[in-house]
Amino acid sequence: MIINKKTATGLEYIEIHNKSATAKVALQGGHLFHYQQQGKTPLLWLSEKSHFQTGKAIRGGIPLCWPWFGKHPADLDLPQHGFARTSFFRLVESNEPDKKTTELVLKFESSASTLSIWPYGFQLILRITVGPSLTVALTTINCDTKAFTISSALHTYFAVSSINAVSVQGLDETEYLDALTGETKIQRGIFRIKEEVDRIYQKTKSSFKIIDSDRVIQIISEGSSSVVVWNPWIDKSTRMADMQADDYKTMLCIETANAFKDARRLIPGEEHTLKVTLMEI
Ligand code: BG6
């Protein structure tokens, strides 16, 4: 079942129910902010203080960082993580191929307003498949006459029982840029989060696991060779308007990305898909 709904603040979203899962996707940002397999707890974290307001990104779920990840390389006045997460997507297709699967296709294209910020013609196609696993695939098509380079991320906020109980598998022996210090380091051994973490892993594998005390979450990335790991810890959570001071204990971002050296250059007519599949196993 696919239902069109609105939050109390007037933000439109699509609610999905099928035999395997439920999900919610806001049209602003093509932002999936809830996914829950039947009989399980939500896979994604969502801040209780999140703004569900026009022009403000939702804090939680899977914000789409695009066409640049992080700060704009040349103009710090431009929004962090690009403009896609606060732009409106259109629902262009929805299918229920069987009782366990729902597929949505959303679209966002260049306009006079995007061209004034980022001077390229593009189409962004978001395919979401809600079933026993969740797949989010973001396709960028270069519709311009000149090449462009994008950096991006499916900025996934996972819900965890307690950050102290969690370890991340799949990043061992991988080089990363520590965004907090600017240093490049190599991940060694079991990765546990014990302080603020903001890292871009490069030349990554494509399969990762979050090992929690009561479940294991599998992450499979495609079209990506970088992963961002972020937890704001207590000081940053306290400073953020849309998080509570102790929210860092129950969330962890593992972001399937095309970030830093993994930015992608697309020539006219070329397309690239950044994709993630998530499930509790
Ligand atoms: C992460 C970045 O991806 O997103 C962090 O690596 C950043 O540096 C975080 O703080 C949250 O960003 P925002 O813009 O949603 O507050």
pLDDT, position 190: 84
Residue 64: is its pLDDT beyond 90? yes
Residue nearest to atom 13 of ligand 1 (CA): 80
Q: Which of 156, 200, 226, 230 to mutate to test the pocket of ligand 1 (most atoms within 8 A of CB)?
A: 230
How many whole angstroms from 145 Cα to the centroid of ligand 1? 32
Task: State the CB neighbour count (10 A cutoff) for residue 75.
Answer: 9
As a whole number, mean pLDDT of residues 19-38 equals 98
Is the shortest distance between the CB of 80 and ligand 1 below 6 Å?
A: yes
How many whole angstroms from 99 Cα to the centroid of ligand 1? 37
Looking at every residue in the chain, the average pLDDT score rounds to 97
CATH of 2-280 among 2.70.98.10, 1.20.1070.10, 3.30.1490.20, 1.25.40.340: 2.70.98.10
pLDDT one-digit tens code per residue, 224-258: 999 999 999 999 999 999 999 999 999 999 999 99
pLDDT one-digit tens code per residue, 214-226: 999 999 999 999 9
Distance CA(215)–CA(42), nearest Å, equals 12
pTM value is 0.98
pLDDT, position 189: 85
pLDDT, position 27: 98
Work out the pLDDT band at 73, boundaries 50, 70, 90. Answer: confident
Two structure tokens written together for 212: 């929690």
Is the shortest distance between the CB of 179 and ligand 1 below 6 Å?
A: yes
Catalytic residues: 155, 255
Closest atom of ligand 1 to 59 CA is: 15
What 8-state DSSP symbol labels residue 236? Answer: H
Q: What percent of the chain has pLDDT over 70?
A: 100
Two structure tokens written together for 243: 């998080």
Residue 110: is its pLDDT beyond 90? yes
